[in-house]
Structure 1
Amino acid sequence: TSLAGTNAALRFAEDELAHLPSVKGWFANLGHGNPQIYYNIVPHGEAVNYAEVFVQLKEYDTRRTPRELDRLRAELARYPGAHIYVKEFVNGPPITAPISVRVIGPDLDVIERLAGRVERLMQTTPGTRDVDNPLRVARTNLQLAVDPQKAALLGVPAVEFERAVRLSVAGVPVSTFKDPSGEQYDIVVRTPTGPRADLDALEQVRVPTSSGAILPVSQLASLKFEKAPTQIERYNRERAATVNSEVERGFNTARVTAAVVKRLDAMSWPRGYHYTLGGEAESSQEAFGGIGTAIIVAVFGIFAILVLEFGNFKSTLIVLTVVPLGVLGGLAMLLATGNTISFTASIGFIALIGIEIKNSILFVDFTNQLRGAGVPLGEAIERAGEIRFLPILLTSATAIGGLLPLALENVGLYSPMAWVIIGGLISSTLLARLVTPVMYKLIPPAMGAV
């Protein structure tokens, strides 16, 4: 499209924004992307068919604003001949889209066909929207096909032909101009073809021969149109095309990605062609690369500290029985709130283990103290449960109260961590009231080892 056509689509989008009462203001850039205004957004380069609008809202309500953005997407989709996307800034590493599929192989034509199949597959998968295939619309190039035999017969070197065409269409730099401020500008010489070169300019191109004659370009070459890819992308030094998709509100990104992967695996891929996932799947895999080791180290560290504190394995085992109770509560809370096991959620599980073990230590240690003072096993368990339950309950309630504002903000980066700790503390505090005394009754530590 032309710059004027892009400008018309931009004006339409701005008119729609003007009717939204929640919009505080906006600014637009035509022909290129906005400057970098968010840490994980890479600015778009110059293109006549591209424009961007940065919109600032008066406030962001986690329930009302997403519904308004859905209505805005529906209104903008009515504009013909343009793709207008509405995207929110999100925290995390820079990714092109939540769901991203790279089609990789040696031949661009085959990649284009496969990318089209992947695009249709993603469009028909529930939960996806704004599916973008960069190879959907091919670019049309003008090619001057030179007849090498005729050029050699007439004495026209290839370099002279290229220089003559460049002189008529783009111009040739011949010198530089330096203004008083020190800035330098290229001086470009071009054949007079009007304000903008067009197809008629090629008919006026004259090519000098080695004998000094001047020949029209039509005697040496023919003009034809040819299909060309809009971009050539490489991934791990292989040719690739990336098909991106956003996720509908109310759908879980991990589940939609799993549905897309299941259908991709069912596709018949030619030999030498395959796909890899980008987007949130790739960033999560990179983020989780070292989290497993960190969890193992943390668990063994906690185990070693408990053994050193109690001096026996039975007390340590009783304390650790609270861990699965908290993990189950954290997983249940993630499921109830529609969140996934993200990187920050994993950090929440590590923090949860430390908090619930602290509460369990209060009970086990006090029970050991009572038994050391001569109180019978059953009575020691009962008294420890009565005396220590209130401090444990108040400690958990204080932590839950402090985390609730962060959880209710519904921020994708921190809210899953808060929900994990809240759910784990609720389940471990309530269930440990039953499980920990029972475990202590079943495997009481020997008092000589306390």
Structure 2
Amino acid sequence: MRCARSSSSIRARAARLGISQAQIAEALSLAVSGSDAGYLHDGASVYPLPIRLRLSAADQSDLSSLLALRLRAADGSLIALSEFVQVQSQPWEQPRLHKDLAPVVYVTADEAGPRDSPLYGMFGVISRLGDAPVAGSAVAQHFIAAPADTAQFALKWDGEWQITYETFRDMGLAYSAGLVLIYLLVVAQFRSYVVPLIIMAPIPLTAIGVLPGHALLGAPFTATSMIGMIALAGIIVRNSILLVDFINQALDQGHALADAVVDACTVRAQPIVLTALAAMGGAFFILDDPIFNGLAISLIFGILVATGLTLVVIPLLYYARLQGRATTSAVV
């Protein structure tokens, strides 16, 4: 509903009575928005409390109550507001929305239920849109970039999906950069291009603990879970370096290869396990955090599985490499 401008006769009548359009607007503003008549200083609060005059919520939504308001004319008489207003019903003009200079229509939804991520509902809608043509053709769906042709109907998934995609994309790039830096550092330490690959072999094994750990606790894989996997790369590589370095020291002292590998696992197992338990114990304190529980799950289950596999995989791989080199040297 809109209050249309008064006709010339109504404006003329209001002028004769000494009531201006500003008075009419102020009366409506007082009834709907209210006006502060004064301030209350009760001493209980630091700031004074405003005393606001306005109609009740029920009267504000009732057009007849608003039109029953009275204005004082120049002669002192009270005239109802309905004498100066003509009410007309008109449709509201719909807004025209644009994004990147292209016309758009936003369709929003919120998902409720046991699944806290809206992406599950999004994937369910994606599978159904293929069977719902628009203008005689299937709707083109875009997940990363906006459609290039704005003359055709198309769907661009945004919102929670766009945030999730950009977050995991950036996390993946950071994970890849971290692996490259770790590889270069280990190459500089051991002067070999193959040994760093053996040392970094347990890094993919962390997924064996991280993903089942999330499934076991019924927790979604979040951005903080990805941060935990990035942190696991450094923790697992450290354990591998300890084993390889101990084997090299034993070989330099004249020990046999098999004895050096067994001694490395025997001597280094206790500090490696104690360090892993300390890291897992620290992660338990944030396990019930609604934001960082993914980080805690990644650290706890990733360290648990990867530490056990590191004590087996690294000695076997390094033993196989050195044994192969010794065999090749003997044959030559």
Same fold (TM over 0.5): yes
For residues 319 and 277 of structure 2, what CA distance do their matches in structure 1 show?
A: 27
Deviation at 1:170, TM superposition (A): 3.9
For residues 253 and 158 of structure 2, what CA distance do their matches in structure 1 show?
A: 62
Query: What whole-Å deviation, never above 9, does each CA across 1:56-101 have from its counterpart, x for those lacking one?
Result: xxxxxxxxxxxxxxxxxxxxxxxxxxxxxxxxxxxxxxxxxxxxxx
Deviation at 1:400, TM superposition (A): 1.5
Match of 2:108 among 207, 220, 243: 243
Is the Cα–Cα contact under 8 Å of residues 110 and 118 in structure 2 kept in the other structure? no
Is the Cα–Cα contact under 8 Å of residues 169 and 202 in structure 1 kept in the other structure? no
Specify the alignment match of 1:342 in structure 2: 222
Change (3 A) 1:243 1:323: same
Specify the alignment match of 2:120 in structure 1: 256
Change (3 A) 1:217 1:268: farther
For residues 413 and 204 of structure 1, what CA distance do their matches in structure 2 show?
A: 54
Match of 1:358 among 238, 254, 265: 238
For residues 233 and 277 of structure 1, what CA distance do their matches in structure 2 show?
A: 19
For residues 20 and 154 of structure 2, what CA distance do their matches in structure 1 show?
A: 40
Specify the alignment match of 1:430 in structure 2: 308
Query: What whole-Å deviation, never above 9, does each CA across 1:200-235 have from its counterpart, x for those lacking one?
Result: 7658999xxxxxxxxx99999863444549x96957
Match of 1:321 among 189, 198, 201: 201
Deviation at 1:275, TM superposition (A): 5.3
Q: What amino acid maps onto 2:306 in structure 1?
A: S
Is the Cα–Cα contact under 8 Å of residues 247 and 253 in structure 1 kept in the other structure? no
Change (3 A) 1:391 1:225: same
3-state SS, counterpart of residue 203 of structure 2: helix
Is the Cα–Cα contact under 8 Å of residues 111 and 121 in structure 2 kept in the other structure? no
CA RMSD in angstroms comes to: 4.8
Q: Are positions 1:415 and 2:293 aligned together?
A: yes
Is the Cα–Cα contact under 8 Å of residues 252 and 339 in structure 1 kept in the other structure? no
Q: What amino acid maps onto 2:186 in structure 1?
A: L
Specify the alignment match of 2:54 in structure 1: none
3-state SS, counterpart of residue 219 of structure 2: coil
Specify the alignment match of 2:186 in structure 1: 306
* Higher helix proportion (structure 1 or 2): 2
Q: TM-score, normalising length from structure 2?
A: 0.65
3-state SS, counterpart of residue 223 of structure 1: strand
Deviation at 1:388, TM superposition (A): 1.9
Query: What whole-Å deviation, never above 9, does each CA across 1:224-258 have from its counterpart, x for those lacking one?
Result: 444549x9695737665563425324x35265344
Specify the alignment match of 1:367 in structure 2: 247
Larger Rg: 2
What is the correspondence of 1:9-408 to structure 2 with a 5 Å cutoff?
142-144=1-3, 166=25, 169-170=28-29, 198-199=63-64, 202=67, 223-226=87-90, 228=92, 236=99, 240-241=105-106, 243-249=108-114, 251-253=115-117, 256-262=120-126, 265-266=129-130, 267-268=132-133, 272=153, 274=155, 276-279=157-160, 281-288=161-168, 290-407=170-287
Change (3 A) 1:201 1:390: closer
Q: What amino acid maps onto 2:316 in structure 1?
A: V
Change (3 A) 1:255 1:318: same
Is the Cα–Cα contact under 8 Å of residues 378 and 441 in structure 1 kept in the other structure? yes
Deviation at 1:411, TM superposition (A): 1.4
Is the Cα–Cα contact under 8 Å of residues 168 and 202 in structure 1 kept in the other structure? no
Deviation at 1:165, TM superposition (A): 5.6
Query: What whole-Å deviation, never above 9, does each CA across 1:91-138 have from its counterpart, x for those lacking one?
Result: xxxxxxxxxxxxxxxxxxxxxxxxxxxxxxxxxxxxxxxxxxxxxxxx
For residues 273 and 221 of structure 1, what CA distance do their matches in structure 2 show?
A: 46
Deviation at 1:338, TM superposition (A): 2.0
For residues 377 and 360 of structure 1, what CA distance do their matches in structure 2 show?
A: 17
Larger deviation: 431-440 or 360-369? 431-440
Specify the alignment match of 1:46 in structure 2: none
What residue ranges of structure 2 are gaps of 5+ in the alignment? Answer: 13-18, 31-36, 40-47, 51-58, 72-79, 136-151, 327-332
What residue ranges of structure 1 are gaps of 5+ in the alignment? Answer: 1-141, 172-176, 186-194, 207-215
Deviation at 1:358, TM superposition (A): 0.7
For residues 377 and 264 of structure 1, what CA distance do their matches in structure 2 show?
A: 61
Change (3 A) 1:378 1:327: same
Query: What whole-Å deviation, never above 9, does each CA across 1:262-308 have from its counterpart, x for those lacking one?
Result: 256445457556454324x3443454453233222211111111011
For residues 240 and 373 of structure 1, what CA distance do their matches in structure 2 show?
A: 74
Change (3 A) 1:349 1:163: same
Change (3 A) 1:416 1:373: same
How many residue pairs match? The answer is: 286
For residues 360 and 345 of structure 1, what CA distance do their matches in structure 2 show?
A: 23
Q: What amino acid maps onto 2:2 in structure 1?
A: Q
Q: TM-score, normalising length from structure 1?
A: 0.50
Deviation at 1:341, TM superposition (A): 2.7
For residues 292 and 261 of structure 1, what CA distance do their matches in structure 2 show?
A: 27
For residues 332 and 339 of structure 1, what CA distance do their matches in structure 2 show?
A: 10
Q: What amino acid maps onto 1:236 in structure 2?
A: K
Structure with more relative contact order (C-alpha pairs < 8 Å, separation 6 or more): 1
For residues 278 and 82 of structure 2, what CA distance do their matches in structure 1 show?
A: 84
Deviation at 1:383, TM superposition (A): 2.2
